Amino acid sequence: AKLEKTVRHISRLAVLFSSLLVLAACASSGRVVSTFEGPAYDGPAFRNILVIGVADSYNNRAAFERELVQDIKAGGAEATALYTVLDKDTPINKSTVEKVVDEGDFDAILITRALNRDFKSKAKTGSPSAQAVPKGGSAANLFRYDYEELNEPATLSMELNIIIGSEMVAAASRERVWSIEADISDQASIGVLVIDASNVITARLRKDGLIPK
């Protein structure tokens, strides 16, 4: 009876493992396009990166930043998640980010956010002050943008079908040097979405020479 119970337990584990593989296989990413206006970055790969995620909750943001830091470090660069160096309720603004960058001796900042597109996701409407931020710039252009959208995101819910925007800013010049948009769709869970989005971003960063390969 004990042997039979063990066999049943192993069988359940096998089924669970197979199910996880199926879920992972179901995760798919579509279009990945460059949205950067200007010549392609041709400088040395960045080695010490501050990672910022924008999401509808602190937990989602922390999970995404943590995953992206892990993937960047796998290639040999150093990376730090913003949530690990700021208190939970600290506003994200120009002076705060610049202080973190200078004190941490970062050479680049990578920020990623979910973009509001035609996917079937719940629209999360922000405050009038957030909606009034001029849209001519980008939330990821950290040193020239009003920060209302980062602190009171208009539509940044981490749904299972999203388009993400990711941008790199060089710390020395305070200028954006790279940006992409990517479809992250057909996800099985928030956890799978986070992993897939991180993989897409780091793969493109390595391909474009922004981080070590």
Separation in Å, CA 113 to CA 24, 179, 201: 22, 12, 12
What is the chain's mean pLDDT, rounded?
73
More confident residue, 5 or 212: 212
- What type of residue is 189? S
pLDDT score recorded for residue 13: 41
pLDDT score recorded for residue 151: 60
- 68, 51 Cβ separation under 8 angstroms: yes
- 55, 158 Cβ separation under 8 angstroms: yes
Separation in Å, CA 152 to CA 58, 98, 130, 132, 159: 12, 20, 6, 11, 17
Q: Which of 4-8, 27-31, 110-114, 170-174 has the highest mean pLDDT?
A: 170-174
- 206, 75 Cβ separation under 8 angstroms: yes
Separation in Å, CA 64 to CA 102, 141, 167: 23, 19, 15
pLDDT score recorded for residue 116: 53
Residues 55, 56, 60: CA angle, nearest 5 degrees: 60
Give 161's pLDDT tier (boundaries 50, 70, 90). confident
Q: Which of 140, 169, 50, 166 is nearest to 100 (CA)?
A: 50
Residues 71, 75, 79: CA angle, nearest 5 degrees: 60
For 183-209, the pLDDT digits (tens) are: 887 666 777 888 889 999 999 999 999
For 106-118, the pLDDT digits (tens) are: 999 999 987 754 4
For 17-59, the pLDDT digits (tens) are: 344 333 333 444 578 999 998 889 998 999 999 999 887 678 8
- 126, 154 Cβ separation under 8 angstroms: yes
- What type of residue is 133? V
The pTM of this model reads 0.72
Give SS3 for 125. Answer: coil
